[in-house]
Chains A and B, each alone.
Chain A
């Protein structure tokens, strides 16, 4: 009996000691997914996972600049400064997985802006979702990412358009504006490129056009002439319009080699936002003259974008280098708004942000006035106010021509 009493008393003392070791400052975390807790002097930490190295680096760096400007223009959030941890998504599944795992191993990160590439977004959204975090992508556009039957995971949102919209816009441009009735599409098996090529095909066919070839290359391919020769020899004849929504390196190879393949000399070529950056224009070179590119419409109205561009020039010394900086800016501010809404500040100034609460706040975003338009999220995280424009490349410069 005495022994029993001894054990009980040890347990009681131990539990008191343990309780004393727990977080003393902030209010108790009752959130089902846990909380991100910051001491009175700690900065709020968010992460980015964007493609910041390799041929597509400008796509990601541009978005990262958007986040940095959002942080600079916002100042303190809920009384705390903000710190960005920038990770690389590598624009592939492995990179997304690795970046995701690194982020979720750090409990001080409250939310993620990323990924750049849909291919990285598929595995990363799974990792992020399972760990209870939230992510808002500024440039994932693959339809599958917000389709619960396919790759959607709770906690995933995006401010970029869904490619169902972009594919339809490109199809409309080719069929109605250019008046071309036959088309072909080439993707590279990546969720983004395949999703967009598919969306284009469906829209083009539903308008009455004919898709004579729908095929794919692999990432890392250099010799596109065999596949282009096969496209030129399609049963329905060589296509009048060739759409290859792939990334920079393959896009540049395709653009150059289309001109060299017998039967495709007069084919109009087009690519999409994965190949829409200053670096891509340089890589394509002369072969890109007269080539069309679809992407988010950047002719934003409103004073915020003017200030944003000034900031961009001051901080990074150039005009925006790619097309998703404003989407990243809006994504970051959406997260900040929600941190302010759901964060609980204790008397000592420490802040606790419930992760489930943050998620539901993000999904509840409605009528948010961002640079890219009025954002309203649906239950699967499509938040964009999608506006697509088509630009033409002339002597190394993109010129917006439609709509």
Chain B
């Protein structure tokens, strides 16, 4: 007993103190909120649905972080810009003209597919260009070098698109077919949010099947396992890495359109914060894992939406919605303290050490 007490070091104590105090605040706040119960059941369902819709976008963007990390062990901080590049281009060159001509409301499905295709292709183009020009020459460099390069690439794309499209907020047209509400469990869902959730599920399942069932997917997994051995087995590593970037970017491009459907405005700086949140989601779920990115995204989205009213309303914190990022990142800290590998992360220590 004596010895065990001596072995407890200062850092452990601090960590335990943080864990316990966060849990106490969360539990105490939740109890206080639920006792006063300012929100109806319907409100809570709304909060959760908002969270799922927002989380779906994080999940789609997070896929790109997790795939690239899987093959290169590199955090591609320019990924948020791939998201922005696709949707801004699609908004200006496709959605705007289609809406002005009235075609968007006459043929919403064809129009949306067209917008989606342009957005995904632009994102993929930007991603492949970035990989080829900025990352590939640094493949053998120490890991800090591509990381800094990625931050540089992020600024480069932000200001390039600002130069191309201007710095104003651009409206994304309202799609009439998606402007209504759909009854669901005693509440009403926004049609746009339903589309976001369904599209995300389809794309995530498709991506998972692609990576797990196709030959290219197998190559990606092999490169993620060991680049040198994969090359010996006849896999074109450079090509596979480009495909990985393209896959991640196509998800980001799709996420961009979903974002625009829900929020209906785009801006050259719009990729920064969702990129950061998606990176957080990837870490939260376990970076390197595709289901992890999806679950991490949903978790983060729901915490952002449900967290402030649930934890803080009862504590009488004024303007508590301003603290949603604090809640989201506190949850990240909390989960990483208990599970450093993320919610369903695996073998991280073994692989990356």
Contacts and interface: CB of A to CB of B under 8 A. Distances in A.
A40 interface: no
A9 interface: no
A215 B321 CA distance: 8
A262 to B, nearest CB: 6
Contacts of A282: 168, 171
B169 interface: yes
A284 B321 CA distance: 22
Nearest to A234: B38
A229 B47 contact: yes
A230 B50 CA distance: 12
A57 B162 CA distance: 13
Contact of A55 (B168, B190, B273): B168
Interface string A206-221: 0000000011111011
Given A223-B50, A256-B264, A285 B309 contact: no
Interface size class of chain A, counting residues whose CB lies under 8 Å from the partner chain: 35 or more
Interface stretch (A16-24, A78-86, A247-255): A247-255
Contacts of A217: 321-322
A234 B36 CA distance: 12
Interface string A285-323: 111000000000000000000000000000000000000
Given A55-B168, A249-B265, A262 B321 contact: no
Given A249-B265, A256-B263, A285-B171, A226 B324 contact: yes
Interface string B51-67: 10010000000000000
Contacts of B50: 223, 225-226, 229
A226 B187 contact: no
A283 interface: yes
Given A220-B273, A226-B309, A283 B168 contact: yes
Interface in B268-291: 269-270, 273
Nearest to A251: B169
A262 B264 contact: no
B321 A253 contact: no
B167 A54 contact: yes
B7 interface: no
B39 interface: yes
A283 B171 contact: yes
B187 A262 contact: yes
A151 interface: no
Contact of B267 (A223, A249, A286): A249
A189 interface: yes
B314 interface: no
Contacts of A235: 38
Given A226-B50, A229-B43, A286-B174, A57 B167 contact: yes
14 contacts: A55-B267, A189-B322, A215-B319, A217-B322, A221-B324, A222-B263, A233-B43, A248-B169, A252-B171, A252-B265, A253-B263, A257-B263, A283-B171, A287-B264
